[in-house]
Structure 1
Amino acid sequence: MRTVGNDLVRHQLHENRKWYLGLGILLTIFGVVLLAALPFATLSVVFIFGVLMMIGGLLHFVAAFKIFEGGFRWLWALFGLLYLVAGYYAFSTPVKTAIILTNILAIILIIAGVIRVLSALVFRAIQGWGWTLFSGLLTLITGVIILMSPDAPFWVLGLFLAVDILFQGINYLTLASYIRREVPKSSADQ
């Protein structure tokens, strides 16, 4: 019985390989294009943020009036209004939004770096603590550089998006290659 299940999985992997390959190529090209146009990529991040905030606002309103009753209803409605305002702000002032989001990102990186450095120092008796220290210092320095760089809001968010999309594309290409090379075809494919 187990062979039938394995055959089905292998068949599905081989059948979908072309989709993984196509998606990998598309995402890799898109990631490279975004790397070449970081201000555009950053603007895309701001608009995606705006759309997500507005969707969140609408969902909070739906929850407020369809799920909750009493005081909680108005609290959820208030959250919905705040989400909508944040989404509108992102669309109406994309440069200011990029500056705010970049500064928040830098502060989070600094805090995460400090926590990693302190964790490494606390756990220095454990093997590998040096890598945690290195990671913490790198994260801390990255946050400081972003916070100190006056032009960071025009490229940092776009860089994060572009690198993420590029690596997703590479992941799909690697998966498609692995399936072709390593996964034996099922008896249905032969």
Structure 2
Amino acid sequence: MADISDRLGFSSLQSKWGWFAALGVLLIVCGFIALANVALATVVSVYYVGILMLIGGVVYLIHAFQVRSWEQALVWALSGVLYLLAGFFAFENPLLASAVLTLFLAIALLVAGVFRIWVGWRMRPVKGWGWVLLSGIITALAGVVIALGWPVNSLWILGLFLACDLLLQGWSMLAFGLAVRR
């Protein structure tokens, strides 16, 4: 067993268990901070998406000057400009951007849920198909609930998702660090 764990790098992970645990604790603290002020966490998440769009826009524009044909360059440049505009929009009006992102989130959850329901229903002869179906129903309902509360819930829903993600990642990193320690 020690031979396999050495080849997979578990011994090096074991020596770093404290870093995983510390990262977990830090993420948990950040999650509680985000949970304490979900409106601010929503704005932070909108700014994060805005930064990613600005970076993506710059990358698209750089790529536009490296393609050979003018038609492709035009498409890449137009995509880059649209990404840049969306990124600037996120910084210019984060509340409106959060409303747009919340609506996209609701639509994405609804579509993903309906797809999972369809997959679960198609899996009926397979053992465990009900879990996939239940997952789809819960995801679709989350999309419907978010859509029904839109645009009012756009002030807090993205921050709540960020807080929950930070808490889950923190707990998993902490649990992983403590498990690796053993």
Task: With the length of structure 1 as denominator, give the TM-score of the two structures.
Answer: 0.86
Tell me, in whole angstroms, the C-alpha distance in 1 between the residues paired with 2:167 and 2:74: 42
Within a 5 Å distance, the mapping from 1:110-129 to structure 2 comes to 110-129=110-129
The equivalent residue for 1:158 is: 159
CA change 1:115–1:13 in 2 (3 A) is closer
Tell me, in whole angstroms, the C-alpha distance in 2 between the residues paired with 1:58 and 1:11: 41
The Cα shift of 1:70 comes to: 2.5
CA change 1:166–1:70 in 2 (3 A) is same
Structure 2 segments unaligned to the other structure (5+ residues): none
Structure 1 segments unaligned to the other structure (5+ residues): 182-190
Q: Which amino acid aligns with 1:147?
A: A
- Identical aligned residues as a percent: 39
User: SS in structure 2 opposite 1:68?
Assistant: coil
The equivalent residue for 1:146 is: 146
Within a 5 Å distance, the mapping from 1:38-117 to structure 2 comes to 38-65=38-65, 67-71=66-70, 72-117=72-117
Deviations 1:10-65 (A, max 9, x none): 54223322211211111111011111111111111100010000000111111112
Q: Which amino acid aligns with 1:157?
A: L
Larger Rg over CA atoms: 1
Task: With the length of structure 2 as denominator, give the TM-score of the two structures.
Answer: 0.89
The equivalent residue for 1:172 is: 173
Tell me, in whole angstroms, the C-alpha distance in 2 between the residues paired with 1:164 and 1:21: 17
The Cα shift of 1:155 comes to: 1.5
> Pairwise CA RMSD of aligned residues?
2.1
Tell me, in whole angstroms, the C-alpha distance in 2 between the residues paired with 1:130 and 1:11: 39
User: SS in structure 1 opposite 2:16?
Assistant: helix
The equivalent residue for 1:19 is: 19
Deviations 1:108-145 (A, max 9, x none): 11112222222233332322222222111111111111
- Runs of 4 or more consecutive aligned structure 1 residues displaced over 3 Å after TM superposition: 2-5, 7-11
The Cα shift of 1:5 comes to: 8.0
Q: Contact 2:5–2:11 (CA<8 Å) still a contact in 1?
A: no
